[in-house]
Amino acid sequence: MSLADSRPGQAGPARGRPRSEAVERSIIEGVMKLLEDGVPLADISIERVARTAGVGKATIYRRWSGKEELFVDVLRATEPPDPQLPGISMRDDLIALLEPLRRRGLASRSSVILHNVYAQMKSSPKVWAAYHATVIAPRRRTTFEVLRRGQRDGELRQDVDIELLNDLFMGPMLVRAVLRPDAELPEDLAAQIVDRVLEGLRPDQP
Amino acid sequence: MSLADSRPGQAGPARGRPRSEAVERSIIEGVMKLLEDGVPLADISIERVARTAGVGKATIYRRWSGKEELFVDVLRATEPPDPQLPGISMRDDLIALLEPLRRRGLASRSSVILHNVYAQMKSSPKVWAAYHATVIAPRRRTTFEVLRRGQRDGELRQDVDIELLNDLFMGPMLVRAVLRPDAELPEDLAAQIVDRVLEGLRPDQP
Amino acid sequence: MSLADSRPGQAGPARGRPRSEAVERSIIEGVMKLLEDGVPLADISIERVARTAGVGKATIYRRWSGKEELFVDVLRATEPPDPQLPGISMRDDLIALLEPLRRRGLASRSSVILHNVYAQMKSSPKVWAAYHATVIAPRRRTTFEVLRRGQRDGELRQDVDIELLNDLFMGPMLVRAVLRPDAELPEDLAAQIVDRVLEGLRPDQP
Amino acid sequence: MSLADSRPGQAGPARGRPRSEAVERSIIEGVMKLLEDGVPLADISIERVARTAGVGKATIYRRWSGKEELFVDVLRATEPPDPQLPGISMRDDLIALLEPLRRRGLASRSSVILHNVYAQMKSSPKVWAAYHATVIAPRRRTTFEVLRRGQRDGELRQDVDIELLNDLFMGPMLVRAVLRPDAELPEDLAAQIVDRVLEGLRPDQP
DNA sequence: GCCTAACCGAGACGGTACGTCACGTCTTTTA
DNA sequence: TAAAAGACGTGACGTACCGTCTCGGTTAGGC
């Protein structure tokens, strides 16, 4: 699951001293602490992480191949768990999918981590791909399923472009996260977005 | 206008040898060349920019206080000029506002620069603020004006949240730029977005 | 002994990887090679020493705090070993003390190093003090002892100023090294000096 | 006389604005001021000299080809005037020749300049040659003449090596200046040296 | 009383070296 | 064998000077 399992290829039972999971946690916690303390991402070096976590540099490199790989796991650790979909109506499911994004925009911890690490990660295609595949894509797929179910159940017109619709839902959240990080996020923002987009898309409309 | 004007405080007539504009251009061109050549942003050091542009390091630091400030000006240099609004209908104006974003997503030059520098820049609040103030905010204001004019002219319902509407227009473009940089951008994407959002928002509708 | 031992303060057993003595030697050898090759002292930068020795700059700065400190150790490495005093007569001991100075004036290797580094070093009081304490002063003390022994043994008048005598012995060697580096140094120069100075100082003379 | 006359080769009468002698003086004074203020020689850059003297860099380079050439003129400016020789006895003339050296060792201004610049200069053979030719050699020649006159007038034995004798006179002064800059210089030091060396060299002695 | 060449101050310019820091790898000791 | 420690070669950082080169502005003759 985590990226931190790059033990050199071998099958047999682990030999020698086993890796300490506590060490692994303390490294990730160390990075988070630094980010929360307002240390700019660019100032977070492997060397500093090692000092903060009270760990040798080699111990970090044994687990991750570089800063970016480490940050992917840090970002994952802040990822809210996949939301439980009520499954009653399409509208409520869509809101349930959007709500965690809004909530994360509020939490200072997640927020500061997101805004920094996220941006950083993007400059490394490989790392971005890993994050996209395990975090972004699954959510996209879930949204697609919800929308298709809505079409099947008569809650959504058949002729709309599912992809564009998805982007219309996610867009405002992203705009606020990326372009206007200080924007206020009203409690019913997810509902506002969903209702505004769905307006005029009900099957009984022209 | 540019960030590259940090001459030490004084008012009188310029003393000493004036700064060469040609040098300024060749530095920015140098960064662009590196980005186009596929050099990862993280590998673009001031030292390398200086070598590429055939320029001393001090000449760069004389103009920009660091890598990020330089990149703001690079990003600005790729910014498409403010679009000419037809001014006939709100719909056409909105499309005219969105179209350059789509087009930039296509152009390899702008694209590669955007996708990297943009992300990088975000980690520096000060730099981001500068970019936001001179590039993002003005566009936002223009969109607001267009939408308000639409309400005045009866093209748009009075009760809609202008801010949310703006985010719905920009959102899909941003989603594709940030989350799915490889997405295809159909020629009529701007029109699709505008029409989809405006559907059901005409004043004569419920 | 050497100046290159500035490990950060601690007493316990050395932790971490120990410093390589081979590296230390190759740095000093590198400087000597440059000097022998006729590179002017002013053109010998730490950066160049590092390149020549195939060593990182930090590896040099880990051992010496700057160019001057490094040069002290280089100078020390060229220092001829303390001469063995015959111990038979004062005259022969004095000649034995002077002879290495003459010889060094001849050797091209030592000479070129001496003439440059020596001068350079003097501009840093701290560094000069270190060199004086470990190289110059001990020799001075030895000469004093020899002269006092001479007085005790009746080879030298009791009323002469030991200090001035010492300077009279060393002076001509220094004049030739500092003011006339191209002067010829006849084989019996040491004997000439000693005899000339001692003339008229034997106790049985007025 | 000074090194500061390197006007580009031309024969005719000076055209254009003539160089300001005041500027020349203020540059040399500036260097002296820095040295007296205890600024280490290595920290005295042309740029700093220019700032101190309130002068453009080019104005300095127009006169001297580099730091060392400038320092030669600074050193010359501190040189005590050639001593007046009494011309009565060889002994008194020799003392008169040595006395200025002792006196300079005492003066803080000359001393600090000497001890630094002198050392520095030696690393540039060309510059050293210039200084040697105009300052050191003439003095040496004068001493030779005095000694030869002494031989002619029966004050000195015929068989002594004039050159070695000269070095024996100068040596102690140099030893104290170069090796023991803090040494005390008794008022009668010159006489002590001369008398000690001449002892036993009078023609009526064996 | 102009003209013009060289001066002057200031400071930009392409460079090089500074001393520091982080990179990712490599020893070393200890557990 | 893992772990902490820290040395290692590499190379970027941002600063300071190098010696050269424009700038606008002065300051002398020579006409």
Annotate B170-196 with three-state secondary structure: HHHHHHHHHHCCCCCCCCCHHHHHHHH
Q: Is residue A206 domain-resident? A: no
The CATH code of the domain that includes D44 is 1.10.10
Name the pLDDT band for C183 (thresholds 50, 70, 90): confident
Per-residue pLDDT at A10: 46
Listed in sequence order, the residues at least 6 apart from D198 whose beta carbon sits closer than 8 Å to its beta carbon are D91, D156
Domain that holds residue A171: 81-198
Annotate chain D with three-state secondary structure: CCCCCCCCCCCCCCCCCCCCHHHHHHHHHHHHHHHHCCCCHHHCCHHHHHHHHCCCHHHHHCCCCCHHHHHHHHHHHHCCCCCCCCCCCHHHHHHHHHHHHHHHHHCHHHHHHHHHHHHHHHCCHHHHHHHHHHHHHHHHHHHHHHHHHHHHCCCCCCCCCHHHHHHHHHHHHHHHHHHCCCCCCCCCHHHHHHHHHHCCCCCCCC
The conformation of residue A48, written as its DSSP 8-state character, comes to H
Q: Is C40 helix (H, G, I), strand (E, B) or coil?
A: coil
pLDDT digits 0-9 by tens, A21-40: 888 899 999 998 888 887 87
Interchain contact, A200 vs B197, CB within 8 Å: no
The Cα–Cα gap between A191 and A160 comes to 20
**C90 and C146 belong to one structural domain:** yes
Per-residue pLDDT at C54: 95
Name the neighbours of D, counting chains with at least 3 Cβ pairs within 8 A: C
Q: Is residue C53 domain-resident? A: yes
Name the neighbours of C, counting chains with at least 3 Cβ pairs within 8 A: D
Here the tokens at position D117 are 């610049």
pLDDT digits 0-9 by tens, B51-60: 999 999 999 9
Per-residue pLDDT at C135: 81
Q: How far is CA B106 from CA A88, B112, B171, in A?
A: 40, 10, 17
Q: Which of D111, D117, D99 shows the shortest CA–CA distance to D173?
A: D99
Long-range contacts of C39-45 (CB under 8 A, 24+ apart): C40/C116, C40/D123, C40/D124, C41/C116, C41/C117, C41/C119, C41/C120, C41/D123, C42/D123, C42/D124
Per-residue pLDDT at D98: 93
The Cα–Cα gap between A61 and C3 comes to 35
pLDDT digits 0-9 by tens, C60-89: 999 999 888 898 898 888 777 777 888 899
CA of D16 to C1' of E2 (A): 15
The Cα–Cα gap between D66 and D73 comes to 12
Q: Which one of D123, D126, D193, D204 would you mutate to disrupt binding with C, by most C Cβ within 10 Å of its Cβ? A: D123
The conformation of residue C80, written as its DSSP 8-state character, comes to P
**B50 and B98 belong to one structural domain:** no
pLDDT digits 0-9 by tens, A95-117: 999 998 888 776 655 666 666 66
pLDDT digits 0-9 by tens, A114-128: 666 666 666 666 777
H/E stretch holding A151: helix A137-152
B20-41 average pLDDT score = 90
CB of A170 less than 8 A from some CB of B: yes
**B40 and B105 belong to one structural domain:** no
Pairwise pLDDT comparison (D205 vs D39), residue with the higher score: D39
- C17 beta carbon < 7 A from strand E? yes
Per-residue pLDDT at C36: 82
**B133 and B32 belong to one structural domain:** no
- Pick the range with the lowest mean pLDDT from A40-49, B112-121, D184-193: B112-121
CA of D9 to C1' of F27 (A): 22
- Amino acid sitting at position D5: D
- Of C123, C164, C193, which is closest to D172 when you measure between CB atoms? C164
- Of B40, B122, B179, which is closest to A119 when you measure between CB atoms? B122
Listed in sequence order, the residues at least 6 apart from D14 whose beta carbon sits closer than 8 Å to its beta carbon are D7
Q: Which of D11, D48, D14, D15 shows the shortest CA–CA distance to D31?
A: D48
Interchain contact, B123 vs A116, CB within 8 Å: yes
**D149 and D105 belong to one structural domain:** yes
What mean pLDDT value characterizes chain C? 84
Pairwise pLDDT comparison (C118 vs B16), residue with the higher score: B16
Q: Which residues of B86-96 are buried (b: 16+ CB within 10 A; e: fewer)?
A: eeeebbebbbb
CB of B123 less than 8 A from some CB of A: yes
The CATH code of the domain that includes C152 is 1.10.357.10
**A89 and A183 belong to one structural domain:** yes
The Cα–Cα gap between B187 and D12 comes to 77
Q: Is A135 helix (H, G, I), strand (E, B) or coil?
A: helix
B89-117 average pLDDT score = 79
Per-residue pLDDT at A131: 79
Pairwise pLDDT comparison (B25 vs C38), residue with the higher score: B25
Q: Which of B36, B63, B90 is the last residue of a domain?
A: B63
The conformation of residue A160, written as its DSSP 8-state character, comes to S
Return the beta strands (E) in chain A as ranges.
none
Cβ count near A13 (within 10 Å): 5
Per-residue pLDDT at A130: 77
Q: Which of D163, D189, D187 shows the shortest CA–CA distance to D175?
A: D189
Contact C108, C38 (CB under 8 A): no
Per-residue pLDDT at D51: 96
Helix, strand, coil shares of chain A, percent, nearest 5, are: 65, 0, 35
**A56 and A103 belong to one structural domain:** no
Long-range contacts of D8-13 (CB under 8 A, 24+ apart): none
Touch criterion met for A and D (3+ Cβ pairs within 8 Å): no
Contact A111, A129 (CB under 8 A): no
CB of D132 less than 8 A from some CB of C: yes
CA of A47 to C1' of E21 (A): 10
Max CA distance (Å), chain B: 69
Interchain contact, C115 vs D122, CB within 8 Å: yes
CB of D179 less than 8 A from some CB of C: yes
Per-residue pLDDT at A11: 44
pLDDT digits 0-9 by tens, C43-68: 899 999 999 999 999 999 999 998 88
Name the pLDDT band for A178 (thresholds 50, 70, 90): confident
**B162 and B112 belong to one structural domain:** yes
Long-range contacts of B3-12 (CB under 8 A, 24+ apart): B3/B64, B3/B69, B3/B72, B3/B73, B3/B130, B4/B63, B4/B64, B4/B73, B5/B63, B6/B63, B6/B64, B6/B65
Pairwise pLDDT comparison (A83 vs D13), residue with the higher score: A83
CB of A153 less than 8 A from some CB of B: no
Per-residue pLDDT at B9: 56
Would you say residue B149 has pLDDT above 90?
A: yes
Q: Which residues of C touch D136 (CB under 8 A)?
A: 179
Listed in sequence order, the residues at least 6 apart from B10 whose beta carbon sits closer than 8 Å to its beta carbon are none
Q: Which of residues 52-71 of D touch strand F (CB under 7 A)?
A: 57-58, 61, 66-67
The conformation of residue A132, written as its DSSP 8-state character, comes to I
Contact A121, A68 (CB under 8 A): yes
Conformation bin of residue C111: beta by default, left when phi > 0, alpha when psi is -120 to 50: alpha
Q: Angle at CA B157, nearest 5°, toward B151 and B162?
A: 70
CA of D58 to C1' of F20 (A): 9
Q: Which of C205, A101, A38 shows the shortest CA–CA distance to D202?
A: C205
Sign of CA dihedral D152, D155, D160, D164: negative
CB of B108 less than 8 A from some CB of A: no
Per-residue pLDDT at D91: 94
Q: Which one of B114, B123, B134, B202 would you mutate to disrupt binding with A, by most A Cβ within 10 Å of its Cβ? A: B123
Would you say residue B123 has pLDDT above 80?
A: no
The Cα–Cα gap between B10 and B31 comes to 30
Would you say residue D134 has pLDDT above 90?
A: no
Q: What percent of chain B has pLDDT over 70?
A: 81
CA of D46 to C1' of F16 (A): 12
Per-residue pLDDT at B108: 56
Contact B49, B30 (CB under 8 A): yes
Pairwise pLDDT comparison (D117 vs A51), residue with the higher score: A51
Annotate chain B with three-state secondary structure: CCCCCCCCCCCCCCCCCCCCHHHHHHHHHHHHHHHHCCCCHHHCCHHHHHHHHCCCHHHHHHHCCCHHHHHHHHHHHHCCCCCCCCCCCHHHHHHHHHHHHHHHHHCHHHHHHHHHHHHHHCCCHHHHHHHHHHHHHHHHHHHHHHHHHHHHCCCCCCCCCHHHHHHHHHHHHHHHHHHCCCCCCCCCHHHHHHHHHHCCCCCCCC
Per-residue pLDDT at B177: 81
**D129 and D38 belong to one structural domain:** no
Name the pLDDT band for B130 (thresholds 50, 70, 90): confident
Q: How far is A175 from chain B (nearest CA, A)?
A: 6
Q: Is residue D31 domain-resident? A: yes
Contact D74, D118 (CB under 8 A): no
Q: Which nucleotide's C1' is closest to D20 (Cα)?
A: E7
Highest mean pLDDT among A105-119, A189-203, D19-33: D19-33
Counted domains in chain A? 2
- Of A120, A132, A197, which is closest to B168 when you measure between CB atoms? A197
Q: Is residue D193 domain-resident? A: yes
What mean pLDDT value characterizes chain A? 82
Q: Is residue B73 domain-resident? A: no
The Cα–Cα gap between B97 and B82 comes to 8
A35-46 average pLDDT score = 83
The Cα–Cα gap between A91 and A82 comes to 17
**A94 and A194 belong to one structural domain:** yes
Q: Is residue A205 domain-resident? A: no
Q: Is residue D204 domain-resident? A: no
Contact C189, C102 (CB under 8 A): yes
C108-129 average pLDDT score = 66
pTM: 0.79
Touch criterion met for C and B (3+ Cβ pairs within 8 Å): no
In chain C, whose CA is at the least distance from the CA of D163?
Answer: C172
Name the pLDDT band for C190 (thresholds 50, 70, 90): very high
**D97 and D174 belong to one structural domain:** yes
Pairwise pLDDT comparison (A191 vs B7), residue with the higher score: A191
The Cα–Cα gap between C164 and D193 comes to 8
Pairwise pLDDT comparison (B95 vs B41), residue with the higher score: B95
Residue nearest to nucleotide E20 (CA to C1'): C58
What mean pLDDT value characterizes chain B? 84
Q: Find where tokens 């050699």 sit.
A: D137
- Pick the range with the lowest mean pLDDT from B36-40, B78-82, D183-187: B78-82
H/E stretch holding C190: helix C189-198
Q: Is residue A74 domain-resident? A: no
Q: How far is A10 from chain B (nearest CA, A)?
A: 33
Per-residue pLDDT at A9: 45
**D183 and D99 belong to one structural domain:** yes
Would you say residue D173 has pLDDT above 60?
A: yes
Here the tokens at position B175 are 């989603």
Name the pLDDT band for B107 (thresholds 50, 70, 90): low
The Cα–Cα gap between D36 and D123 comes to 22
Per-residue pLDDT at A115: 65
Here the tokens at position D100 are 């200025």
Name the pLDDT band for D78 (thresholds 50, 70, 90): confident
The conformation of residue C176, written as its DSSP 8-state character, comes to I
